[in-house]
Structure 1
Amino acid sequence: MPEHTAAADFAALLRELKDRSGLSYGVLAKRLHMSTSTLHRYCNGDAVPADYAPVERLARLCKAHPEELVELHRRWVLADAVRGRKGAAAAETPPEEADSGTGPGQAASEAAPPAEAASAGAPPAAPADADTGAGPAPARRRTRTAVLAGIAVAAVAAGVALAVGLPGGGSDGDGDGGRHRPVGAAGVTAEGTAPASSSPPSAAASPSSPAKGTGPARTPAGSAPAGAPSGEGQKSGVPVTVRAEPYAWESPCSQRYLADKPASEMKPPPLEEGAAAWVAAHGAVSSGQQYLRLTVQGTGPETVVVDGLTVRVAGKRAPLAWNDYAMAYPGVGCGGGVQTRAFAVSLDSARPSLTPEPGNEDFPFKVSESDPEVYYLTASVSAYDVDWYLELKWSSGDRSGTLTVDDEGRPFRTSGNKGRPAYEFPIGGDGWVPEGTTKLE
């Protein structure tokens, strides 16, 4: 989808919600803790928010219906993806081309003479005007680039020669000296299976055998396809991507975290977009329940069927004996409501499984690049401290596979909070106090 179309469609729905609410830009900006000019840029299509959290808060302030929330998230995903591709294309533009207008072919040809000198074993000779400053600026820049390229090639050639002369660098021993073992990102072989001697990067691997087309197990789920190293989605042939947001909030009133710190050492509750950083800073764990938002999108125009999501438990222990901190400020109203594509799971169960919330459909669903889906999962627990992750089963034509979805290479973690000391942060206060002791005026 063209950039202007994706951003314009997203902005159009934002403007529609804003206009319908009857609230001014100034009032909305104040409630969202952002500048009026920033909100103007979002609603005019001049900018796309990097995070979805402020968009969702804006929609809720404007009394958006559940169907509108889903459509708004879909449009934001498309606009954000287009912006990401634009940023990647700009990053791949060679600085020399952007500066001097020199094409790749010219740069390569000018670097060739030093490379030939290096291959002959002699250091490259600097051109006569390399240090004199003679000649036009672009010419001097290209000359310096060619000299540096020649020096680099010479250094690489010397390193190769030294490696060949070292013990074990030849063909004795195991036949390849360990130099021809194809290893990909994060200890995953080029064939897409973990090496026999490598440990999985997180607590546990999937207990089930990989299906045909399954990517490497226990890799992070992000903008690249889950189950494939970052940037390898197209190479792996996986036609679907999964973005997991493990610190999304259904509403501030519902979100709590356990932390092994006294109240005097805890920072005030964050906004939703700051939750991940707040959790990391305090070593906190989702308390009682975890609200997970999954965005599933195809990588091409073909239709991909999402056949189901399976919950896998990687570890189960007694609940954490930590303090329980509520994210809601006492007296502040809470929004929320059941989303479409909403599911629940009890991690206390011996075999946890997802069940659709009332009024929601169950799998399978269809996705493509222009038609993503958003799933909302509420995982609840009271009797255990649970490490868990998800397996997403997909199919497209004669291909199928299973993707592992987790918290950037680690399992999600949710602990029961029954009987734990609970704290809240009063509005206008300067610290946490025991929950229920705040007097509301």
Structure 2
Amino acid sequence: MAQRRNERATSLKTVLISVINGCLGWRRGRSFEKVDLLLTCHDVDRGSIVDGKPYAQITDSFAFFAEMLGYSTLTIAKPYSMLVGHRAHGCPVSINGKSLLMTLLSYSLLGIQRRQLVLTLKTRMWINLLRKTRPKLVVGVQPSEDLCAACKILGIKVYDAQHGVINSQHPWYTTRIKMLEKRLLPNGFLVWDETSKHGLSAAKEKGLDVLVIGHPEFIRYRHEKKSRFDATRIITEGQRPVHVLITLQWGLGDIFSAPEEKGLMGNELIRAIKNSDEKIKWHIRMHPVQMRKNYKKIYSDLLLMFGDSKKIDIDDATLNPLPIVLSSMDLHITYHSTVVIEAGWMGIPSAILCPYVESGNYSSYYQSERKSGIAECVKYSEIEICEWIDIKANERKNLNFIPMDGVADFLSINLR
């Protein structure tokens, strides 16, 4: 309970600071100028650091390809983001003040009436912004209902770009799509692979597009940063440790509730790391939500767990783009992170420690990867984790298995 209160207090503090920043127009960034492609995401979607600034692996990669093709772009930061202006890639524009004003104007009403008024007011806000920017296309990470409604009114196509797991058990891609009016939904979804496409049957039944275009960040780094892949590899040929990536997830405080687990990982995995020898190098990558909201605290908690051990890496694994990190890894361990998919593209075996993936509420997760053998469910036990590492250490396959490369083609068709 104490942990939940602390999380709520931290969240409230973040919102208040971001609202003040937005209301004052502090470092608001670029003006609402005319552009070809309008992008939108939140701070928590900026999961790495590139050239010293927070980088949104999905939307900033779309901007990269659009600008490479000669089109102009603008990113609007979703409320209530603080990484605006020159504090992030692309100089995102803040709408915190505008969004707060629309919310405050609705406080005279309650319940459904209030929600309807907020939707109406924010839709009008977006209509005004879209009329100023006049984009040909809008792409966002989970674009809001009001943005979708505004785009539909103005006849602008808006797409939801995949940023994580999509399957039939995810409420955003099932229950929500079935429940909402079509005018409040995007024109379609841009997904990484055929497996993700199959998880969007609700969208197809609603008459929405589901387009497989690949993973924008992985495509970018495969084609445009290949030399960087080679230059930043941590491992070397010959005698070397096994490099194991551990991807953390947020919101697991109820599962890893013991004081020493700190809501990050279970005691069995902690012991596996502590008791390992120099033959294993552990790279712990925070989830983007953890990175943006509680980086210093989680970093401190991890240091308390493991000390300043040379066999533990946190900074490089967390701050670098995921394709760069994975290019240096041999194995991947997670509770049930989406990185299972991305590691599989690069031939890296994954151990999934969540028991409900094998049988339970998450049984539809990673079926393709588990069927191919690149991922498997492993019991959350120190012994079984270590045995899995011993068996899999020499099974890494070749790279270059990114399933689709259609981002540039999609943009060319929709922006011309």
Query: TM (normalized to structure 2)?
Result: 0.23
Q: Which one has a bigger Cα radius of gyration?
A: 1
Query: Which structure has the highest helix share of the two?
Result: 2
Higher strand proportion (structure 1 or 2): 1
